[in-house]
């Protein structure tokens, strides 16, 4: 198995080595395009709005409510399962002991 793997690796190295060499020769003869410099905005606008729009506030409130309800449900299920597990372990210990 290892000889087959080694043969595959050498075959792939040969293929990529030959392709890499031919591509390097082609790109060496190709013309080089010089990139032009462009102006860049130095930073954020000074007059950026400080308060989100009412639609964004409503959506944020809705997401917070949904997140709070999800956390509450998780806590309820966690404590219910914790009680069930403790009861099951107690009953199992009583049967064995």
| 23, pLDDT greater than 70 | no
Report helix, strand or coil for 63: helix
Q: What is the pLDDT of residue 39?
A: 75
pTM of the model: 0.44
Inside any domain, residue 65: yes
Residue 14, pLDDT score: 73
67 part of a folded domain = yes
Residues 6+ apart with CB under 8 A from 60: 52
| CA 93/CA 97 separation, integer angstroms | 6
Is residue 12 included in any domain, yes or no? yes
- Better pLDDT: 69 or 97: 69
Domain around 11: 2-29+54-96
- Domain count for the chain: 1
């Amino acid at each position: 198995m290892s000889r087959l793997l080694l043969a595959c690796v050498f075959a792939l190295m040969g293929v990529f080595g030959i392709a890499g060499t031919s591509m390097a020769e082609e790109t060496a003869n190709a013309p080089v395009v010089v990139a032009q410099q462009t102006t860049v905005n130095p930073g954020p606008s000074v007059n950026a709005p400080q308060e989100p729009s009412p639609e964004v506030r409503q959506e944020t409130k809705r997401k917070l409510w949904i997140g709070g309800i999800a956390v509450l449900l998780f806590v309820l299920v966690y404590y219910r399962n914790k009680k069930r597990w403790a009861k099951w372990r107690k009953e199992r210990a009583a049967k064995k002991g």
